[in-house]
Structure 1
Amino acid sequence: MLCAVYKSKKKPDTYLYLPKRDFFDDVPKPLMDMFGTPKFVMLINLATKTQLALADINKVKEELSDKGFYLQLPPPTENLLDEFKKQNGVERD
């Protein structure tokens, strides 16, 4: 299963996976508006992969089959101040 990967120019570290290159018909318009003009990054053969760097390969395959696309969002940023307070027993305001 080949898959085309696109990077968002509007949202950092946000990627869109499609089963066909340049076929955006299954992606909802509000999502495309938020994503911005997609920048092609690469083609991946999911059949030869056992894992992906930041996405669950089985979920990617499932959503490509079910929805016609997969949206990879960046991992949530950790709040270092909250983490420091938690580790040092400081109560939140």
Structure 2
Amino acid sequence: MSTKPEICDIYKSPKKDEMYLYVRKTEGLTRVPEALLTMFGRPRHYVTLLLTPERKLARAEAPKVLAEIGEKGFYLQMPPAREDYMLDLFRPDESKYQQGGGE
């Protein structure tokens, strides 16, 4: 399991908020499976950085990201899980806007 520093390109998904692909800059997206790219959408370059095992990332552990890039050629960062009550705020539920009572 290699966790040597890598210069990484990070791509943002246009389809899913807070979904990112980390890849080696020298390889780009060449090792990312076509099915994943289809699901991900056309990758939008977000940032290039030197990723070291000690680097702090917001939603991933750098050693795990480096290991997966070494093994698979990419690391997919999924969006954070949403709480169920937060999802209810965005569901179109017409019943909550209707007045009760038999008019």
Q: TM-score under structure 2 normalisation? A: 0.72
- Paired residues for 1:10-89 under 5 Å: 10-20=15-25, 23-47=28-52, 49-80=54-85
Q: After the TM superposition, which parts of structure 1 deviate over 3 Å for at least 4 consecutive aligned residues?
A: none
Kindly tell me the number of residue pairs found equivalent between the two proteins: 81
Aligned partner letter, 2:12: K
Sequence identity (%): 41
| Cα displacement (A) at 1:48 | 7.8
Aligned partner letter, 1:30: A
Q: TM-score under structure 1 normalisation? A: 0.79
Unaligned runs of 5+ in 2: 1-5, 87-103
Separation of aligned partners in 2, 1:50 and 1:8: 23
